[in-house]
Amino acid sequence: MSVPRFWRRLKNLYNLIGTQCKKCGEYHYPPRTICPKCRRSSLIVPYKFKGLGEVLTYTIVHSAAKDYAKHTPYILAIIRLDEGPSLTSQVICDHADIHIGMKVKSTFRKLGEESEKGMIYYGTKFVPLATPPRKD
């Protein structure tokens, strides 16, 4: 990700800021400039999502792209936010705990970095809403 590209998306990544069409009430993430339902009559306003959602499906990544190699194995999930839209994000939890339907909440984490001397990218990932019981 280039620095300007990250900077343009920064508010959306940090705070799950998407949009809502005030005409039909539908929420969008990432943000849209036009509502896919209402088209030309859409009334788009920014909307900050509550950060609560549910795991629709997930996979555990063992073989990742170079920049994420040291993070494997990690959980990548499709999360449906309570307001409706779905997004792809990492879920930070024990691999034994992840399951379809798991309630999750957003958290602020490092998404990656360009290199040791490059820019660090921050944004939203998800953690379980309820802390799983301790296992030791």
Q: Are 19 and 27 in contact (CB under 8 A)?
A: yes
Phi, psi dihedrals of residue 57, rounded to the nearest 5°:
-165, 165
CB of 11 to another protein, least distance (A): 7
Could you tell me whether strands 27-28 and 52-61 are parallel, antiparallel, or unpaired per DSSP bridges? unpaired
- Residue 122 within binding range of another protein, rule CB under 8 A: yes
Which of 11, 50, 103, 105 binds another protein (CB under 8 A)? It is 11
Which of 14, 24, 50, 60 binds another protein (CB under 8 A)? It is 14
Nearest to 126 by CA among 66, 63, 56: 56
Q: What share of the chain is helix, strand, coil (3-state, %, to 5)?
A: 15, 45, 45
Three-class SS of residue 38? coil
What angle is formed at CA 9 by the lines to CA 90 and CA 131, rounded to 5 degrees? 30
- Residue 2 within binding range of another protein, rule CB under 8 A: no
- Residue 62 within binding range of another protein, rule CB under 8 A: no
- Residue 86 within binding range of another protein, rule CB under 8 A: no
Which of 15, 56, 64, 78 binds another protein (CB under 8 A)? It is 15
Stretch of residues binding another protein (CB under 8 A), selected from 24-32, 37-45, 66-74, 81-89: 66-74
Of 32 and 109, the one with the shorter C-beta distance to another protein is: 109
- Residue 37 within binding range of another protein, rule CB under 8 A: no
Phi, psi dihedrals of residue 36, rounded to the nearest 5°:
-65, -20
Which residues form the interface with another protein (CB under 8 A)?
Answer: 10-11, 14-15, 48, 69-71, 92, 94, 107-111, 120, 122, 125, 131-136
